[in-house]
Every structure is written in structure tokens, then in C-alpha cells.
Amino acid sequence: MDRRNKKMSVITINKNNFQEEVLKSEKPVLLDFWASWCGPCRMVGPIIEEIAEERTDIKVGKVNVDEQQELASQFQVMSIPTLVVIKDGKIVKQSTGARPKQQILEML
């Protein structure tokens, strides 16, 4: 399959792949900190999936805060959903709460 036509999908980020997928990424990374029990997270989820499919210039990852408490505390995630944009291993934008797609795109 030709990779250029392949749609990007959301990567599940955990402490084992965080260094490789996020900190060493050549592309900006949009991280979605979420949990299955979180209503607003379920609203943002499909938007995040859409952005991952549409934008090949960025990497999109999801961090389940229940399973990855270490990463959640590293980013001082107090409420979810929290969206974080990381470029060159550094946080450049962070926002909490459900956002419409346009606002999420503006973070990038």
C-alpha cells in the first residue's frame, strides 16, 4: 500500500512509546488526554479522529488518563479533556475542556 495515500490514524500514547512518538517526533503532536467515563471527551473524540485523518503534517495521539497516570501528572492534567500541542519536544499550547474543531485546529 502506498503510504502517501494512507490516512493517518490516532496513536495510543503510553509511557513506553511517549519518548519515541511524542518527544522525538519531527511533526507537531496533538495529544488528547481523555477517559472513557468522561462525557466531554466523547464529544471531542470524533473531532480528534477527523483531524488525524485530514492532517498528515501532524501526529495525533490519545492518552487515557486512567491507564497513564504518570503522563497525566507529568502534564499536570487536572481535568479532561485536555489537549496539548507539542513541537520539538516542548509544550506550545494547552487547553482544557471540549472545543469545536476550528478552535482545536487554531491551536496547531
Enzyme catalytic residues: 38, 41
Distances (CA, A) of 47 to 8, 97, 100: 14, 13, 8
Give the cell for residue 72. Answer: 497525566
Q: Which residues contact 64 (CB under 8 A, 6 or more apart)?
A: 12, 34, 35, 36
